[in-house]
Amino acid sequence: MSVHADPLNAGTHADPAPTVKPRLILTVLGLCGIVVALMQTLVVPIIPQLPTLLDASPSDTSWAITATLLAAAVITPISGRLGDMFGKKRMILASLGLVVIGSVICALAPSLIVLVIGRVLQGASVGAIPLGIAILRDVLPPKKVGGAMAVMSATLGVGGAIGLPVAAIIAQSADWHYLFVVSAILGIICILSVYFVIPESTVRRPGRFDFIGALGLAAGLIALLLPITKGGTWGWSDPKTLGLLAASVVIFVIWGLWELRLDAPLVNLRIAARKQILFTNLASISVGFAMYGNSLSFPQLLMAPKETGYGMGLSMVAAGLALAPGGLVMMALSPVSARLSMWKGPRITLTVGGFIVGLGYAVAYFATSTVWQIVLAGMIIGAGVGLTFSSMPALIMGAVPITESAAANGLNSLMRSIGTSSSAAVVSVVLAGATIVVHDRVFPTLDMFKATFLISIIAAGATMLFAWLIPKRKAA
Listed in order, strand segments (DSSP E) in 349-466 are 435-438, 441-444
CATH number, span 7-210+262-469: 1.20.1250.20
What is the arithmetic mean of pLDDT over 256-265? 90
Task: Give the tens place of pLDDT for each residue, 6-43.
Answer: 455 444 455 555 566 888 999 999 999 999 988 888 88
Whether 400 has a pLDDT exceeding 70, the answer reads yes
Residue 10 pLDDT = 45
Taking the C-alpha atoms of residue 278 and residue 262, their distance in angstroms, rounded to an integer, is 20
Q: By percentage, how much of the chain surpasses pLDDT 70?
A: 95
The string of pLDDT tens digits covering residues 445-475 is 999 999 999 999 999 999 999 999 999 865 4
Q: Of 244 and 50, which is predicted with more confidence?
A: 244
Which residue did the predictor score with more confidence, 313 or 158? 313
Most confident of 208-217, 219-228, 250-259: 250-259
Which are the contacts of 146, defined by CB distance < 8 A and separation ≥ 6? Answer: 6, 8, 338, 341, 342, 394
Q: Is the CB of residue 454 less than 8 Å from the CB of residue 329? A: no
DSSP-derived secondary structure letter, 369: S
Report the pLDDT averaged over residues 194-219. 88
Q: Residue 65: its pLDDT value, please? A: 83
| pLDDT at residue 17 in the model | 52
pLDDT at position 115, please? 95
Out of 344-348, 361-365, 426-430, which region has the weakest mean confidence (pLDDT)?
A: 426-430
What pLDDT, in 10s, does the model give residues 142-170?
888 888 888 888 887 778 777 778 888 88
More confident residue, 210 or 184: 184
Look at residue 205 and give its three-state secondary structure. Answer: coil
The residue count of the chain comes to 476
Gap between the Cα atoms of 395 and 385, Å rounded: 16
Q: What is the pLDDT of residue 359?
A: 98
State the SS3 of 206-266: CCCCCHHHHHHHHHHHHHHHHHHHHHHHHCCCCHHHHHHHHHHHHHHHHHHHHHHCCCCCC
Give the residue among 474, 475, 467, 407 at the shortest CA–CA distance from 137.
Answer: 407
CA distance 476 to 469: 21
Residue 237 has pLDDT above 80, yes or no: yes
Res 4: pLDDT: 52
Q: Is 5 a residue whose pLDDT tops 50?
A: no
Closest residue by Cα to residue 467 from 321, 288, 287, 340: 287
- Identify the pLDDT of residue 166: 84
Query: pLDDT tens, 404-442?
Result: 887 888 888 889 888 888 887 788 888 888 889 888 888
Tens-digit pLDDT profile for residues 279-302: 999 999 999 999 888 888 898 899
Does the pLDDT at position 2 exceed 60? no
pLDDT band at 72 (very low <50, low <70, confident <90, very high): confident
Confidence of residue 476 (pLDDT cuts 50, 70, 90): very low
Beta-carbon-side half-sphere exposure of residue 89 (alpha carbons within 13 Å): 17
Predicted local distance difference test score (pLDDT) of residue 163? 79
Is the pLDDT at 370 greater than 80? The verdict is yes
pLDDT at 269 over 60: yes
Average pLDDT over the chain, rounded to whole?
87
